[in-house]
Structure 1
Amino acid sequence: MLDWGDVPTWAAALFAGGAAFFAYQTIKSQRQQIGEQRQFIGEQSRFMDEQRQNLELERAELRAAAEDRRVAQARQVRMVDSLVPVGTEGAALRSAEVVNGSDAPIRDLEVRFGTAYIAAEVYEARGSQDRGPLALGERWITPLALLGAGRTAVFRSQAWPETTAHNNRPTLFFTDDGGVRWSLDSYGKLEEVPAGGPS
């Protein structure tokens, strides 16, 4: 007859085998849970990245909309530049018709001709540019403190020889209803004037 050992040895061997099996199952289960957690964390990271990208796009759209609103009034201000002959000796002056096409007033209007010459005269404009030349109305003080919505003012330089007048194109400086200072040149280029810049 075979000697299978004693019962306590068999019981210890069975217990050790059962413990090893349960340890293996526990480790296997923990590995599976760790894998699922990594997958969940990866999915959450991708979701959070998508949310971050969406928020960045929304912020960019909001900034663009705010910038459009900030610039909207200034874009409705127009300036028409013309050379006006004066007398018979080849003299001329520059005339800048400034139209506030917005629905709010603009303030502190100043027109500079070239880099150094401030407008010599400013007038209220009467009539419509669509129907021909504007008639000059009341003479106003320069720089012009306020130009109401839908109003037009005509800024004029001093009289110069025609070549000097030709070379001194106007630039308009004004402050919009939101308090932002702008410059608009005779080519239609609109720029915000930095703090401490020309006023």
Structure 2
Amino acid sequence: MAISVVIAIGGLLVAIHLRHEIHWGDAPTWTAAVAAVVAGIYAVKTFTSQNEQLKEQQDYISKQSELIEQQMEVITLERDERRSAQARQVILAPRPVALDPEKPGYFRAAAVVENGSDSPIKAASLNFGSIPASSARLTRISQSGTDTRETVASIPVPVVGPGVRFLFEVWHTSVDLLRGEAPSVTFEDAAGRHWTLDEHQDLKLVLSRPTAS
């Protein structure tokens, strides 16, 4: 700013010199002019400085906002990971649709739901597309590797304990209808959240418990 003031005063002196004479009676006018020039230069400098400070503040706020957004994304991911930790250990394994020898003329669709977590899940029910399962049985794997079916349970199954498997079944006279319906299970985790899981192990949180069909 000092250089600008010197240049301004120098310009005024040169102008006076070029006029070859000084009217001392106009000295107050020249003094006021110099003061006005100095004030103008100061105002411009101040305005420029304030703009630079404002830009620096805006850049800082922008970077802080980006940082906060990144932190919120991490927090959201960690929260979702914790929230779905138990539900992701539930497994849905569909069985091939086949003619049921115990029910002549009927085909059976079945799927096994296994709770692989260390806490129980509740209110487990399974649909084959729009067709609700009509039977649920507690199952165990025998030494020969086949399912041993035990205890028929109501649907939704009130409680599926840790490591427990349930076989859900439905029967229909149309094999094409059953083969065209994909199974999905809904259940409640230990924290009271409701989930749906399909045959591809695609897990989704549901906001409200689906009404029974």
TM-score range, shorter chain: 0.7 to 0.9
With over 3 angstroms needed to count, the CA separation of the structure-2 counterparts of 1:119 and 1:111, relative to structure 1, is farther
What residue is the counterpart of 2:9 in the other structure?
none
Alignment of 1:36-115 (within 5 A): 36-83=49-96, 85-87=99-101, 89=104, 91-115=106-130
With over 3 angstroms needed to count, the CA separation of the structure-2 counterparts of 1:119 and 1:189, relative to structure 1, is farther
Secondary structure of the residue aligned to 2:84 is helix
Alignment of 1:170-185 (within 5 A): 170-185=183-198
With over 3 angstroms needed to count, the CA separation of the structure-2 counterparts of 1:114 and 1:56, relative to structure 1, is closer
Q: Is the 8 A contact 1:93 1:162 kept in 2?
A: no
Q: Is the 8 A contact 2:184 2:197 kept in 1?
A: yes
What residue is the counterpart of 1:124 in the other structure?
138
- 1:19-68 deviation per Cα after TM superposition (whole angstroms, max 9, x unaligned): 32233212212211111111111111111111112222222332233233
Q: Is the 8 A contact 1:90 1:161 kept in 2?
A: yes
Secondary structure of the residue aligned to 2:208 is coil
What residue is the counterpart of 2:152 in the other structure?
139
Distance 1:37 1:165 in 2: 73
Q: CA deviation at 1:72?
A: 3.0
Task: Say whether 1:25 aligns with 2:38.
Answer: yes
Q: Is the 8 A contact 1:94 1:169 kept in 2?
A: no
- When the two chains are superposed, the root-mean-square deviation of aligned CA atoms in Å is 3.1
Distance 2:180 2:42 in 1: 86
Amino acid aligned to 1:174: F
When normalised by structure 1's length, the TM-score is 0.76
Q: CA deviation at 1:109?
A: 0.6
Structure 1 gap segments, 5+ residues each: none
What residue is the counterpart of 2:162 in the other structure?
149
What residue is the counterpart of 2:199 in the other structure?
186
Tell me which stretches of 4 or more aligned residues in structure 1 moved more than 6 Å: none
Secondary structure of the residue aligned to 2:119 is coil
After alignment, is 53-62 or 28-37 more displaced?
53-62
